[in-house]
Chain A
C-alpha cells in the first residue's frame, strides 16, 4: 500500500461522507482494507480531507506571457490553493487552436509534475470568432472544452455551429458572455458608482443579453454551453427561467464577495471582466450558488505583471489572481459567516466541475482516483504580496486575514504538496 492518511476528517458531500477516519491509497486509487502499514503515512489529526479542488477557468499565460505566469508557477499557485486539477484557458500567444500546442501544455505540465492541467481549446481559429477550430483534433489531443475566453463569440451563427459541432464530443462550449458593443471601452460596472467616479461603464446588459442568446442557442441546437464568470442578477434569472442540463455556469470568488463600491479607492486590483457588480448582484450570486443554480465556483485566475497592473485604473489590465485565495476567502467570508454550507462549497469546487467537464475525479469513496486536498480549517494566514507562489500579485483580497491553510495536496496517490513545500 502506498499511502495511509489517518485521523483525518473525511469530507465528500457528493457521497455524504462526513466523518473522522482513515483513508488507504494504493496505485492511485482509494482502497478498502485493513490498516496495515503503508509506505507513507500522514497523520491528519485536526485536518479536513476534501476531494481535490478543480478549477475550470485559469490563465497560465504560457506560451506567450511568461512574465505574468508559467505552467510551473501557475501549477504551484493552484496546489497552494488546494487545486489538484486546473483547466487552462487558450487565450495564450499563440492561442491554443491546434493539437501541437495542446501537446505542449500537456508535456510541460507533466514535466512540472504538480497538479493535473487540462487544456481548453479555442472555439475559433486564432480566437478570431470567424471559423471553427479543428475541434476533433483538439479533443483527441486532450482538450476538455472549447472557449474563446477573453472574447465573446459575438457572431451568433458561428456560436450556433460550435454548439452543434461540439455535440460530437459531449463537451461544453464555454462562452465569455459580453456584448462588446455594449461594454465598449467600459472600465467598471455601469451604475451609480461609475457615474460618481466618471468611468465609462460596462452595463450588466452587456452580459445578460449574451447569456439569453447563449441559452436560446443551446436550446435550439441541444449543444452544451457553459457560461463563464456569471456576474449579474439578470443572468441568474435567465439561467433559472430556462433551467436545462445543457446549460451550466460558474461564478468567481470575487463576484461572490466584492461589489463596485470597492472601486472608490481606484485600486487597479479590483479591475476585471466582468466587472465587480452591485451589492445586490453579489447577494444574488451567493444565493444562486446556495440554491445550486450556479453549479461551479471558478477562479478566473488572471495573473498580470506589476507593470500592467500598477497603473492608473483605466490603463491597468483587466483581471485578478484567484487560485491561492479562492477556498480560504470563500470559507472565511461565506461558510464561516453562515451564508453557504461547507458541503455546497466543496461540491462547487470539486464534484460539480468534474461532472460538467467529464473528469473522472472529485470523490473520496472507494475506487476513486486519489486526488485530495487536506486543509487546516483553523489555520489563519494573511494575504500579502510575498505569500504568493504565483508570479503575479494582483489579488483583490490583499490585506485580508483568512481561515483555511492547505497542508497537503495529493494527486494520483502521490503527495505533491506538504506544509508549504512542492514535491514534483
Chain B
C-alpha cells in the first residue's frame, strides 16, 4: 500500500536547516498495523504527515497504492486524502462548534455521501463506539475518552483504507487508552491498515510491526512478538 524510497523532509529557516526525514525507505502492506516509535524530534510525526499527504516531501519517492503521490498538487492530494485516509490525533481535534453527530458526519459532506446514508453510517458508528447517547453533545461536554472515540468514528466514517494515528492515547488515561487501542485493533482485524505513532511500548504492541526512528531515519524494524 505504501512504499517510500529515499523519502526525506528538510525544514529550512533563515539560519537553520533541520532534516526531519533522512532518506527513509519504508513499505507498508495492506492490512498491516504498524507502530512508529522513537524519541521526541526523531521525525515520527513528520513521517506521519508526509505519508498522510498533509505535508510534502523534500525528496525521494512516495507511492500510495501504486501511485506516486509525493509531488501531487494540494488539490489532488486533498482528493486522495479524503477518499482513502482517516486521521486520529492526540488532541482529538474535534470541531467545537459541531455536535458529536455533526463531527462524525463532516468527512462525508466533503465526499458527497447522500444524506440518508450519512445518517445510517453515523448512527451505526456511534452505536458501535457506545456514544450514541451523546450524539447531540458538543465536544467540550465529553470526557477525553469519549472525545477520542468520536475522533476515531470520524476517522473511519468514510471507510478509509489507511488510518493514521498520531499518539491517539497520549491525552487519555489508561482505561480510555486501552479502549481506543482495542477499537483500532478491531478495525485492523476487519482489514483497515493502520499507521500509528506512539511513545508507549504497550500501545505499540497492539500493532504487528514496530518501526523505531532516530534522527529522521528508520533504525530498526521488528515484528511484534506474537507475529514472530
Q: Is B a genuine binding partner of A?
A: no
B: residues with CB less than 8 A from A are none
A: residues with CB less than 8 A from B are none
